[in-house]
């Protein structure tokens, strides 16, 4: 098991490296650069060249890349071209805010979706199953930014149930923070619920129809006991894998929702970084995203192996 985890961590590091490298070269292929952006369309050509030289943009891409990589490995992520401050000064607080939102959203989404899926699976074919399945899928086909706008209008502006401002200020208390994050979280829940609950439902249905659950019934277990002891664990295995694969999706949704709610997360930062060709900022943001996504996948893989004796056995060989 230890060797397996080590191997997976190694693979994860390789993935992160490949992603950041790919992003670095892709952004440099894009037309325009930071110097042109900063000085505007009407800037004199020589001024642009001068600024490029100051920013180090005149060097070959490969040289830029190796110097960025060398600095990054030492923990120096460079200076934001746009804001002229070290990248981490801006990134660290905004990533903190984003993680807060992601955490609240995910902590709400996963239990709600899994419970929804289990209820639908256990009561397959009844009205509650149809409501969950149809409702979940209908909600999922609406993009999260549309939900965000609708939710702000209905729950915030018209009904005054939830605050429309997602950010209560830097010195707010924890309940206050969570309260303000509910509205953007709901937008994300609405999109993810349909997918995750569907997988959980399919897992439950498959387990209920399996021979081993029939064995449980024929042993004389009651339905709730059979479901608790024999259905849930087997049903949740595929759900874990799928939920982990939804994380990139959540990150994408997060960026859109943050912008709509004017939330000081790193979504806004990322968007501006792309617009201004703020390479150091962009690179660091991508690095963080890939670390988060790969990290979650890693945790899910390990969890999967822990819960599934078959995989665990293969893994330890």
Partner 1 sequence: MSAPTLELRDLSVAYRVRGIDRQVLRGVSLAIQPGEAYGLVGESGCGKSTAAYAAMRYLPRNGAITGGSILFEGRDISAVPEAEIRELRRAAISMVYQNPIAALNPTIRVGEQVAESFALLGNGRSESRRLAVEALRRVQIADPSKVMDRYPHQLSGGMAQRVVIAMALASSPRLLVLDEPTTGLDATVEAEVLDLLRSLIAESNTSILFISHNLGVIRAMCNRVGVLYAGALVEEGATATIIQRPSHPYTVGLMRCIPRGGLDKYDSHLDTIPGTPPPLGTPLPGCVFVNRCAIARESCATAPTPVTDLGNGHTTRCPYHAEAASMPRVVASEPVTASDEHRAERGRDLVTVAHLSKTFAQGDGDVRVLSDVTLSLRHGETLGLVGESGSGKTTLAKTLLGIHPPDDGSILAIDGKALGSTIDDRTAHEVASIQIVFQNPDSALNRRHSVTRIVARAVQKLAGATPQASEERAQSLLDSMSVDPVLHSARPGQLSGGLKQRVAIARAFAGSPRVVVCDEPTSALDVSVQANILNLLADLQARENVSYIFISHDLGVVRYLSDRIAVMYLGRIMEIGPAQDVFDGPHHPYTEALVSSIPDVDGETRVRVRLGGEVPSPAAPPTGCVLHPRCPRRIGSGVEDLCTSTEPPLREIGPGHAIRCHLDVGQLGSASRAATA
Burial class (CB in 10 A: 0-12, 13-18, 19+), 35: buried
CB 257 within 8 A of CB 97: no
Other beta carbons within 10 angstroms of residue 225's beta carbon come to 13
Q: How many residues belong to the site for partner 1 (CB under 8 A)?
A: 24
Which of 78, 308, 315, 316: binder of partner 1 (CB under 8 A)?
308
Does residue number 126 form part of the binding site for partner 1 (CB under 8 A)?
A: no
Report in angstroms how near the CB of residue 131 gets to partner 1 at its nearest. Answer: 20
Nearer to partner 1, 99 or 237 (CB): 237
Nearer to partner 1, 53 or 214 (CB): 214
Nearer to partner 1, 7 or 214 (CB): 214
Report in angstroms how near the CB of residue 124 gets to partner 1 at its nearest. Answer: 9
Which of 13, 71, 233, 299: binder of partner 1 (CB under 8 A)?
233
Nearer to partner 1, 262 or 313 (CB): 313
* d(C-alpha 154, C-alpha 198), whole Å: 27
Report in angstroms how near the CB of residue 218 gets to partner 1 at its nearest. Answer: 5
Nearer to partner 1, 205 or 281 (CB): 205
Point out which span in 45-53, 265-273, 289-297, 303-311 binds partner 1 (CB under 8 A). 303-311
Q: What angle do CA 53, 285, 103 make, to 5 degrees?
A: 165
Which of 135, 217, 291, 295: binder of partner 1 (CB under 8 A)?
217
Report in angstroms how near the CB of residue 302 gets to partner 1 at its nearest. Answer: 16
Point out which span in 242-250, 270-278, 280-288, 305-313 binds partner 1 (CB under 8 A). 305-313
Does residue number 74 form part of the binding site for partner 1 (CB under 8 A)?
A: no
Nearer to partner 1, 72 or 241 (CB): 241
Does residue number 158 form part of the binding site for partner 1 (CB under 8 A)?
A: no
Report in angstroms how near the CB of residue 236 gets to partner 1 at its nearest. Answer: 10
86 forms beta bridges with 79
CB 80 within 8 A of CB 278: yes
Question: Which residues in the 237-296 window bind partner 1 by CB under 8 A?
Answer: 237
Other beta carbons within 10 angstroms of residue 13's beta carbon come to 12
> Angle between the 232-245 and 174-208 helix axes, to the nearest 10 degrees?
120
Which of 41, 158, 173, 317: binder of partner 1 (CB under 8 A)?
317
The binding track of 197-216 with respect to partner 1, each residue x by CB under 8 A or -, is: -------------xxxxxxx
Does residue number 127 form part of the binding site for partner 1 (CB under 8 A)?
A: no
Q: Which residues bind partner 1 (CB under 8 A)?
A: 210-222, 229-230, 233-234, 237, 307-310, 313, 317
């Amino acid at each position: 098991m230890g060797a397996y985890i080590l191997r997976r961590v190694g693979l994860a590091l390789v993935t992160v490296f490949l992603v950041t490298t790919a992003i670095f070269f892709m952004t440099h292929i894009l037309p325009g650069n930071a110097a042109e952006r900063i000085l505007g369309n009407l800037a004199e050509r020589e001024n642009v060249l001068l600024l490029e030289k100051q920013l180090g943009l005149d060097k070959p891409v490969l040289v830029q890349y190796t110097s960025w990589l060398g600095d990054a490995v030492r923990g120096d992520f460079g200076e934001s071209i746009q804001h002229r401050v070290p990248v981490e000064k801006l990134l660290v607080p905004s990533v903190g805010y984003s993680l807060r939102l992601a955490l609240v959203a995910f902590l709400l989404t996963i239990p709600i979706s899994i419970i929804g899926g289990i209820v639908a699976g256990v009561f397959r074919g009844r009205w509650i199953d149809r409501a969950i399945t149809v409702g979940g899928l209908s909600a999922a086909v609406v993009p999260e930014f549309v939900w965000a706008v609708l939710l702000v209008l209905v729950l915030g502006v018209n009904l005054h149930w939830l605050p429309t401002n997602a950010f209560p200020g830097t010195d707010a208390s924890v309940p206050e923070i969570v309260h303000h994050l509910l509205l953007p979280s709901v937008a994300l829940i609405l999109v993810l619920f349909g997918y995750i609950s569907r997988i959980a439902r399919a897992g439950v249905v498959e387990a209920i129809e399996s021979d081993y659950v029939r064995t449980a019934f024929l042993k004389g277990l009651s339905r709730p006991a059979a479901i608790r002891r024999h259905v849930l664990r087997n049903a949740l295995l595929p759900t874990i894998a799928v939920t982990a694969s939804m994380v990139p999706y959540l990150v994408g949704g997060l960026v859109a929702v943050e912008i709509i709610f004017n939330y000081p997360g790193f979504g806004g930062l990322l968007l501006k970084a792309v617009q201004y060709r703020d390479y150091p900022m962009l690179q660091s943001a991508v690095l963080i995203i890939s670390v988060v996504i790969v990290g979650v996948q890693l945790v899910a893989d390990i969890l999967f192996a822990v819960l599934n004796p078959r995989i665990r056995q293969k893994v330890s060989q």
